[in-house]
Structure 1
Amino acid sequence: MITIRQEEEKDYQQVFQLTEEAFREMEHSDHQEHFLVEKLRDSEAFIPELSLVAEDENGNIAGHILFTKLKIVNGSESFESLALAPVSVKPEFQNQGIGGQLIREGHDIAGKLGYQSVILIGHEKYYPKFGYEKTSNFGISFPFDIPEENGMAIELVPDGLKNRKGIVKYPKEFGID
């Protein structure tokens, strides 16, 4: 039995360790995700309601997801969206649907908070299960080269990305210029 709830300060150390463990063996990782979570918590991009943990019946944190603010910039115009990064599940809890529960709950909360879309870089076979499509379908690109199928977006509301073409601008904490 897994419960999804908002992360609290008392969870920070467990989340740090869990995130490091979750990405330790990942091939396409810089192995800095646990530090990124810490930096984002202290940033203007942080939304406390969108830092979620998955807790088992014994109070152990099995997973964590973080959605933070980002912008889509098109010339002098910019539009707010969300970045999904990272989603972490402890290795012994992986492949049990916990990541999916975190994603769906995060989408639900983000929509209730008024956010219209989410952008991510992720596995092309995993995220489409949750409704993600290539960002190129929306006319959105990244400020660096990635395989087209790994840049994805989802509209949390109908037409949430309509006429929102542009380049993704990450918060400075991501270390991307």
Structure 2
Amino acid sequence: MIREVITYPNKLLRTKSEDVMEFNEELHTLLDDMYETMVDQSGVGLAAIQVSIPLNILIISIPDENDVQNKEELIEAINPVITHKDGEQVFTEGCLSVPGFHEDVKRAQHIIVEYFNRNGEKQTMECEDFLAVAWQHEMEHLEGHLFIENLSFLKRKKFEKEWKRRLKDKKK
């Protein structure tokens, strides 16, 4: 089932998500719904909070060289924790909760993440480049943050002005 993706400035996006305690059918349904929603919205990642569920759950699906997202490659992460990060990279990011806006964000180049899969089995993943960016972006959502908070003061002010104008135009 495709769920509604909430957008900025919805206050729920500022909510710190809580750990998942039960790995059950309800969790599996949520993960499946999140995947359908992410693909429907042409995203590469989605945190549960973006579909109004304040739980430490995220999914990532990096398209292959033909721009296809294979479900077999889907990363489903429950209660993820970054245990190591180093290096630095700048990547142009967008967000399903801030549609139509893209900006350069500085992130760690290389990270190691520990998390649980849908069956409660502990996993470790080491990644870099775009996959590391996706992990860090989605994990910020779990802390109640958006990528726009990483912008410089001037870029943030410019964003706020453009966003308010866009919301105003939408109401007309």
TMscore range, shorter length = under 0.3
Q: Hey, which of these two has a bigger chunk of helix by percent?
A: 2
Q: Hey, which of these two has a bigger chunk of strand by percent?
A: 1
The two structures have a TM-score, normalised by structure 2, of: 0.27
The two structures have a TM-score, normalised by structure 1, of: 0.26
